[in-house]
Structure 1
Amino acid sequence: MRISNYYVTALACVAPSVHGFTTIAPRTSSRILLLPIRNNPLPIISSRHFASSTGGDNTSSSSSAAADLVVKNDTSSLGGEQPQRNTTDTSSSVLDQNTTTMTDPNGSGDQLVVAQKKKEASSVIPPLPETLDASGLLSLDPTVVDIVQVPTKNHTDTANGQASRPSSLEAMMKGLPFVSMFRGSANYIANHRNTLAVYHIPGGLLDLPDPTVFRDLTNDIALTWLLGMKIVLVVGCRRQIEKRIPKRTRFFGIPVTDAETLRVVKEEAGYVRFEVERQLARSLRMQGGNNDNNTGAKSDHVDGNVVSGNFYSAQPFGVLDGIDYKYTGFVRKVEVEKIRQLHAGRDICLLTTLGVSPSGEVFNVNSEALAATVAGALDASKVIYFTEQEMELRHKVHGNKIQNLRLSDARNLMKHNDVTIHKRGFVTVGERSDELLPETDMLIKIGWATMALEQGVKRAHIISPKFGAVLQELYTRDGSGALISRDLYEGIRRANVNDVSNIYDLIYPLIKMGTLVDRPKAVLEKDVDSYYVFTRDELIVACGQLKIFEGEVKRYAEIGCLVVNQEYRARGRGDAMLGYLERLCFLNGATTVFVLSTQTMEWFVERGFTQVTVDKLPPSRQATYNHKRASQIYMKDINSSRDLDQSELWWNR
């Protein structure tokens, strides 16, 4: 007898740490029917492929052997030699009573687990790209990214000239209760405390028609300081210089700074410096950061001040291609220890574009490049660039706002738009080097963000200057701007048949101890498309399996066989593997992820999973759930890519 379009295999299972290996995934011996979509990295299991039960539990040796059988695609019979199973082994599986069985017509007498193919077509999730590396599966096509300028809302009431912004009471009354907001922000507050952030403020924000925009921005920055962040401010003055010198000489996008221009730069840099100091001093006092204790009582409160000085040195561009750039320079060295001493005293460090060389010469430095360089030198947790206009990244096809980019995506976007960032502190944008449109400015900031990430900064944010945008981006799940992060999943790829032996070697110690159900290499080879591996120096140090289920209403995904070599524990390998698989789930339309576990429940609870009952599983998975093993079930909903960004924030600190 031949059964078309199906094969049967054993589900992966997991267990706790044994003999040098860590298991961080569900332990289960339930069986599952897989559609043989060899080119789809995520096998799809539909409840419509399962028929109703015909009897009770199948506990015989024959049924156990049949469950390990591999039915080849389309033309393979159900005969052949079966793996020997010990029916008294506690790791052997017991099929659920809701499983259809039939007698092998070849005469073996075995009860075979089969699925009746129904005539109606089941919906199929589109296959993912064929690339085997992590970058290829998660990459964003740069041709679908559009940079959109959002109409700026008028912050000022034209009737009375007063700033019109939502009050905290109004926000609470409109679906943002204080208790819920505060609880939702608590984890972010704890995570950002004692981390270092470099803010880049373009000079254009100081001279906007609405003065409340910059005032509110400094208030929010002061609040992040009050919540425990260490802050470096880099303020530019390009807009102020352009007003005084509209036709500034440039070559290849690099401005030439002669003696007269340098004098203007000094004046404007001094202006923006004192404006920022003035506003921040007021904001710190409002937030309690400069609270004068006039009562005479002793206080443990540490005042915060804004301190500026020669915290970096510069050097000249010199002569390039016959062009003398005179007083245009780039960063030579960042005085890291001096800045850290300021932070130890709870002070805020303020830097301008004027850098001094060891010989005493003053040079004009690109402020965006300065922010990226300082952030890298200080090993900052994040660098934050503000745009002068309210800008967004949008998907050209479905119009959704793009709020997160991986470093590789940002690089591809730069290449697609012909943007080149030079480490000496200048940028070229195709043929438009002398023109700075809002869209171009957004691309340039993405470029400098990539430079910061390449120098070791963990995350970069590009935020529009709208009311409360900083707080929303840093302390809420939804965010407000664009987040760019390093490729945390580098080294993860889809497994192939050449990895079967190494995967088996990784999980064999657990199989030998009886904590994992034995799965022959033949089964691993047939199921290899659902496995993913984490490699270091061509050694597989972790693996995981992912299966997609199609429920009646939504799609589900099960993560299993998540095993990490003990030598690589406490290095984030398990978290990275879980995060990568969750991103694949979301990419493939499965917004509910579940795991089964008997030993590692707490690990999943710490990562946002909650325990549920069997009836919450998709019907096809309920049919194969092993009630005798009674594995606990944990589920997690993924509502947006920002949920995944939030998870990464906790473990990639």
Structure 2
Amino acid sequence: MTGARLALCSMGLGVLRQCISVSGLGNIFTPRGKMRELTGWTSSSGLGVQRMLCASFAKEATGGDSIMNTFGAPLPPVELAIDAERIEVATDGFNGEHEVTAVAVRVVQQLRGSAPYMDLHRDSSMVVHLCSEVLEDEDMFQGIMDDLATLHVLGVKLVILASVRFQVDRRLQVETGDVGVRVRGLRVTGPKELAAVQVECGLARSRVEAALSRALRSGGASHGRSTIGVDVVSGNGFVSGRPVGVVDGIDTGFTGAARLVDAAKISRHLDAGEIVLLSALAYSPWGDTFNVRTEEIAARAAPALLASKLIFVTAGHEFAWKDINIPPESTSRRVASLRLDDARKLLERREELSRAGSCGVAAQLLDLTHWCVSALEQGVTRAHLIAPTDGALLRELYTRDGAGTLISRDIYEGIRSATSSDIDSLVSLIAPLEIDGTLLARPRPKLLEEVKRGCFYVLSRDDLPIACASLKRLDAAGTLAELGCLVVAQKYRRQSKGDALLSYLERVAIAAGVQKLFALSTKTMHWFIERGFSQVSLASLPRERQAIYDNLRRPKIYCKTLKGDRDVDVEDAFWTRRHAEGEFEIL
């Protein structure tokens, strides 16, 4: 993302925070002066305030003119009532402002652009994990707390975990002169180590609760609590633990693993509008205390809660493209999105990537990736790795470009290029829609030719195609393409198969440099409109395609601008949710 776009995003998100936190300026009250010989209070809305200084009252109060501005002198009384004679009805509808400032336009655009994401994430559950390094920078920590409070106000149900690994190491170094022993990445937890973990978990809990209690306060609030309260709850019954035991011949002591996440209990608090805070401490039914990795708890809690997202706020590092591999649609070196299989491949290269990194930074990021993969394999649909920069959490969730790396479960399982052996299945899929006139009839030889040219794709189940579509170039430059013959078998409709196939082909087109995707339809127009296509004229097609346009069927022409993989990721999220809520597709 360029500096200008980042500044614009930051400005827009700042306004978003402000709009959410300020619920109203309230009324302004002032006592009338003795000079008027009236008692009581006068209220006004504060609009078009007319200040009327009462010099005679000032003289009476101070005994002269010369000491009005001296230390300890009273402020001059003012009249806050509106002078009605100064108000008129404007005929231009702009109240005297004939131009809207560029800043105002950008803010409005930012809010409009964020609105679909607000709708998408409202009432969804998210598990957010903070690396221990985040707690070391007070400004960074408070900024993230402000963003979490904003998410809460926007209707997101939050479970927060804060690692204290760095703080425990520091405490042990000071108290014992050693950070202790680790085996396979696990801290061997004896009595001294457990005591340090307990102290640091308590401090972290206190800091999170304090930060959220002051987040999003209205500047005009005069009472003890803001009108926007952020309630945080924690306890001993959310996660139960068990001992890890002996690892490589070493007794790990009080080091534990997550035994059970009580999703029902956590959900009751989330539904009550509270934020749930989990820690590294887990307890057994017989009263033992265990030190459990917060990353493991996060990866277990997200699928247990059916969370829409698992988010790891990193120590400041991220995946980046090598300079020679930056995709053409990317605006930065940051890797914006990965499929689950891509993340698995990165983990296979863990040793190589760790050697290329410095001071264990790469190993730490890959460790977080491991927990993302674990959560996705247990049913979570999306996980995020986000650096703790200002506003990154909001930009990742509420803007098109995002600010981190999205890792998503593969919804394209079974999609592949069609082969000659699929021709019978393709004919069976297409024939009913050719008969009713939805699709243009394709002779078998022509269909086979297009399959051999690599124009057809199928979504198969048990190796039998249950959906198909074609994708063809429309110009020599390769920037235009046409989507056609998108069909889903009757038995498998209303299961988002058409959405999966469309998203997959959009990614294929983007990878090939296509910028505009066309589709022609006589009956499924609204399906395409709902998925970002707009109706265009025949003149929008290249001349070669215009020449073979069917003037008898006269299908309507639709076009969609392809912006990048990140846009497709967002659309996948929208349609995954709509399918889960029962808003099924036509195809």
TM-score (normalizing by structure 1): 0.68
Identify the range of structure 1 (242-251 vs 539-548) with the bigger mean alpha-carbon deviation: 242-251
CA distance in 2, matches of 1:608, 1:560: 16
State the alpha-carbon separation in 2 of the partners of residues 165 and 596 from structure 1. 38
What is the CA distance between 1:398 and its match in structure 2? 3.6
The correspondence of residues 234-633 of structure 1 with structure 2, limited to 5 A, is: 234-246=161-173, 247-283=179-215, 285-286=217-218, 304-310=230-236, 311-399=238-326, 400-418=333-351, 437-528=360-451, 529-551=454-476, 555-633=479-557
507-516 vs 563-572, greater mean Cα deviation? 507-516
Q: SS in structure 2 opposite 1:550?
A: coil
Per-residue Cα deviation, 1:280-312 (whole angstroms, up to 9, x for no partner) = 111154599999789xxxxxx995410001201
Identity over aligned residues, as a percent? 40
Distance in 2 (alpha carbons) for counterparts of 1:620 and 1:395: 39
* Contact residue 291 and residue 303 of structure 1 kept, 8 A: no
Distance 1:637 1:431 in 2: 41
Cα distance change of structure 1 residues 167 and 347 upon mapping to structure 2, 3 Å threshold: closer
Find the counterpart in structure 1 of residue 120 from structure 2: 191
State the shift of 1:619 in Å: 2.4
Q: Aligned partners of 1:350, 1:290: CA distance in 2, in Å?
A: 28
Instruction: Return closer, same or farther for 1:286/1:269 CA change in 2, 3 Å cut-off.
Output: farther
Higher relative contact order (CA 8 A, sep 6+): 1
Where 2:259 maps in the other structure, the secondary structure is strand
Aligned equivalents of 1:376, 1:337: Cα separation in 2? 13
**Secondary structure, aligned partner of 1:355:** strand
Instruction: Give the Cα–Cα distance (whole angstroms) in 2 for the partners of residues 509 and 487 of structure 1.
Output: 30
- Partners of 2:356 and 2:528 lie apart in 1 by 50
The answer to whether the 8 A contact 2:412-2:500 is kept is yes
Over aligned residue pairs, what C-alpha RMSD do you find? 2.9
Secondary structure of the 1:567 match is helix
Q: CA deviation at 1:452?
A: 1.1
Question: Does the CA contact (< 8 Å) of 2:317 and 2:365 recur in 1?
Answer: no
2:564 to 636, 640, 645: 640
Worse-matched range after superposition: 397-406 or 587-596: 397-406
1:167 Cα shift? 6.2
Q: Which segment drifts farther, 540-549 or 395-404?
A: 395-404
C-alpha distance in 1 between matches for 2:251 and 2:564: 51
Return the alpha-carbon distance in structure 2 between the equivalents of residues 354 and 502 of structure 1: 56
- Kindly provide the CA deviation profile for residues 330-384 of structure 1, in whole angstroms up to 9, marking residues without a partner as x: 1000011110100111000000000001111000011111111100111110011
AA in 2 matched with 1:206: L
Q: 1:559 to 1:347 in 2, by over 3 A?
A: same
Letter in 1 for 2:428: D
Spell out the pairing of 1:68-83 with structure 2 (5 A cutoff).
none
Q: What amino acid is aligned across from residue 469 of structure 1 in structure 2?
A: A
Give the secondary-structure state (helix, strand or coil) at the position aligned to 2:215. helix
Give the aligned residue type for 2:414: G
User: Aligned residue pairs: how many?
Assistant: 472
Cα shift at 1:515: 3.7
**Deviation at residue 222 of structure 1 after TM alignment:** 0.5
Q: Compared with structure 1, are the counterparts of its residues 166 and 292 closer, same or farther at alpha carbon in structure 2 (3 Å cutoff)?
A: closer
After superposition, the Cα gap between the structure-2 partners of 1:558 and 1:598, relative to the gap in structure 1 and judged at 3 Å, is same
Check the 8 A contact 2:354/2:360 in 1, yes or no. no
Give the secondary-structure state (helix, strand or coil) at the position aligned to 2:168: helix
Distance 1:238 1:288 in 2: 39
| Counterpart in the other structure of 1:179 | 108
Partner SS, residue 639 of structure 1 = coil
Q: CA deviation at 1:392?
A: 4.2
1:560-581, Cα deviation, whole Å (9 max, x unpaired): 0000112212211010010001
Compared CA separation, residues 358 and 244, structure 1 to 2 (3 A): same
Q: Distance in 1 between matches of 2:468 and 2:280?
A: 48
Please say if residues 307 and 347 of structure 1, whose CA atoms lie closer than 8 Å, have aligned partners that are also in contact.
Answer: yes
In structure 2, how many angstroms separate the alpha carbons of the residues matched to 1:196 and 1:378?
A: 7
CA shift for structure 1 position 254: 2.0
Partners of 1:309 and 1:191 lie apart in 2 by 30
Counterpart residue type for residue 607 of structure 1: R
* Higher strand fraction (1 or 2): 1
Once residues 525 and 286 of structure 1 are traced to their aligned partners in structure 2, the CA distance between those partners, rounded to angstroms, is 67
Instruction: For residue 228 of structure 1, give the secondary structure of its aligned residue in structure 2.
Output: coil
The amino acid of 1:254's aligned partner reads L
- Following superposition, the deviation at residue 261 of structure 1 comes to 0.5
Distance 1:624 1:288, change over 3 A: farther
CA separation in 2, counterparts of 1:252 and 1:642? 35
CA contact (8 A) 1:284 1:290 kept: no
Residues 165 and 615 of structure 1: is their aligned pair in 2 closer, same or farther, counting only changes over 3 Å? Answer: closer
Q: Displacement of 1:629 after TM fit?
A: 2.3
* Counterpart-to-counterpart distance in 2, 1:290 and 1:499: 72
Deviation at 1:622, TM superposition (A): 1.7
Separation of aligned partners in 2, 1:616 and 1:430: 50
